[in-house]
Amino acid sequence: MSEAVLLKGGRVVDPSRNLDQTLDVLLRDGVVAKVDERIAAKGADVVDAAGLVVAPGFVDLHTHLREPGFEYKETVATGTRAAAAGGFTTVCAMANTLPVLDDAPSVAFLVRRIRETAVVRVHPIGAVSKGLKGLTLAEIGSMKAEGIVAVSDDGKPIANGMLMRRALEYASMFGLPVVVHEEDPSLVGDGVMNEGWASTRLGLPGWPNVGESAMVARDVQLAALTKARLHVAHVSTRESLEAIRAARRAGVAVTCEVTPHHLTLTDEDVARSGYDTRFKMNPPLRSEADRAALVAALVEGTIDAVATDHAPHHEDEKALEFEDAPFGVTGLETALPVLVDALLVPRAITLQRLVDVLSTAPARVFSLPGGTLAEGAPADVVVFSTTKSTHVTRDGFVSRSKNSPWTARTLRGRVEHTFVGGREVFARGAGAAEGPR
């Protein structure tokens, strides 16, 4: 492959510059060299992008790569190849590995694994508390020096209000957002699906909306008190959105994300599935009223970004009774087609906003490079179709795990090419390329 790639005649959508126009894009020396009409570039590899969308590569704020400790579920190598296949050029790796990313050496180890095996950019997220136990602060300052971009105990809530306050205060010294998985354990108990008509019929323990929103209400007030940066992970209820909206109006520095599954599926999908554990995740799929409120909030901007919460699990772990199976679904490879099919095709969202929430906005939320095709920016680019379909199959996943609720579904929208630093890391039909040396 030569040094330069010319993406010819695509519909270039770049929310960072409010751009939506048919143009050529030249990638050279790892950066976006030029975006213009009819670029002539001798010796460049030419990709015909006619009829396709050319956009800044997607940025995932919430990915579980499972390495170290759970390599049978996913690794940096397989997870980042899955990311590339889904059009993601940057992912943020959550801290709930084994050992937990709660000190400098563990982050340094992961950074080395990323350098050796990743095919997209990976930014580690450090733990808030040692061992995710919610008792004492992890070594946030030392981890910052190793490159973490945020702190989170994701997978577990920070039940202790004083620890949450200290986390916000301490993380703000290093300019790091605190990412919260909002769940009041005393209200959620052993809940495994949304509390509602569906859980009543299925006889499964319910996980009520207030289990999330009560914690959001606490944390936006703590963020106001501490003037720190709060980011609410995978928001799932309309009451949480109300609390976030009110906080923002009051000038609190709070951002939030939503997953593709919470935007498109509900607890009735759990009921229809007949206790299929591929529909079990935390927070659980909510009611139709919540789902609709999430879509509206994403379109209007209360929700900043879409994040996958890609949570790979082995098929054996999921082949259990519903209550006993682990929470989580994979999401990197299906995010774009799910959103195109469920939101873009029915015109619930514009193409500009869709690219924004997958790319530009998340990069801004964690202050990451990327999310733009401005000349001189890293050449992280996704090329996708909004008309071609993706047929999701169990054996088609690049990820090591197959726990997707969309298996056997055909969805409009398909990623065709992914470039990281100007190198092609995914091409439809060709699989992922080798990692950078």
Partner 1 sequence: MTTKQSETPESAVPRPPTFSRKDLLDIESITEDDIRLVLDTAESMREINQRSIKKVPALRGKLVANLFFENSTRTRFSFEIAERRLSADSIALSATGTSVAKGETLLDTGRNLMAMAPDAIVIRHQRSGAPHLLARHLPCAIVNAGDGAHAHPTQALLDAFTIRRAKGSLAGLRVAICGDVSHSRVARSNVSLLTKMGAGVTLFGPATLLPVEIERTGARVVTRVEEAVEGADVVMILRVQKERGGGLGFPSDKEYFELFGLTPARRRLAKKDAIVMHPGPMNRGVEIDSAVADGPDSVILDQVENGVAVRMAVLYLLIGASGDE
Two tokens, residue 275: 């206790």
**Is the CB of 3 or the CB of 190 nearer to partner 1?**
190
Q: Cβ closer to partner 1: 279 or 384? A: 279
Answer whether 172's CB lies under 8 Å from 229's CB. yes
Q: Is 309 a catalytic residue?
A: yes
Residue type, 250: A
Please compute, for residue 428, the number of CA atoms within 13 A of its CA located in the half-sphere on the CB side.
17
Closest separation between CB of residue 316 and partner 1, Å?
A: 8
Rounded least distance, CB 204 to partner 1, Å: 5
Tokens of 174: 């290093």
Q: Which is it for strands 423-427 and 410-420: parallel, antiparallel or unpaired?
A: antiparallel
Which lies closer to partner 1 via its Cβ, residue 40 or residue 319?
319
Of 65 and 325, which CB lies nearer to partner 1 in the complex structure? 325
The Cα–Cα gap between 32 and 374 comes to 7
Q: 338: closest CA among 303, 372, 309?
A: 309
User: CA-to-CA distance for 373 and 227, rounded, in angstroms?
Assistant: 32
Task: Work out how close the CB of 155 gets to partner 1 at its nearest, in angstroms, rounded to a whole number.
Answer: 18
Note the residues at the interface with partner 1 (CB under 8 A).
Answer: 195-197, 199-204, 206, 208, 274-275, 316, 319-324
**154/267 with CB nearer partner 1:** 267
Which one, of 42, 45, 43, 5, lies nearest residue 25 by Cα? 5
Cis peptide before 68 (omega within 30 of 0): yes
Helix (H, G, I), strand (E, B) or coil at 2: coil
Our CB check for partner 1 shows the closer of 37 and 321 to be 321
Q: How far is the CB of 410 from partner 1 (least distance, A)?
A: 22
DSSP H helical segments within 276-380, as ranges?
288-300, 315-318, 335-339, 351-355, 361-365
The token duo for 142 is 């030392």
Of 154, 304, 309, 341, which one is the catalytic site residue?
309
Nearer to partner 1, 273 or 352 (CB): 273
Radius of gyration, alpha carbons of the chain: 21
Q: How far is the CB of 276 from partner 1 (least distance, A)?
A: 8
Query: Distance between CA 207 and CA 189 in Å, rounded?
Result: 8
What's the closest the beta carbon of residue 216 comes to partner 1, in angstroms? 21
Q: How far is the CB of 40 from partner 1 (least distance, A)?
A: 59
Cβ-based nearer residue to partner 1, 109 or 275:
275
Closest distance of CB 270 from partner 1, Å: 10
42: Cα separation from own chain's centroid: 37
Cβ-contact 56, 14 below 8 angstroms: yes
Which of 285-291's residues contact partners 24+ apart within 8 Å by CB, and which partners?
285/193, 285/194, 285/261, 286/194, 286/196, 286/209, 286/236, 286/237, 286/262, 287/194, 287/196, 289/238, 290/209, 290/236, 290/237, 290/238, 290/262, 290/266, 291/262, 291/263, 291/264, 291/265, 291/266
Residues with a known catalytic role: 309
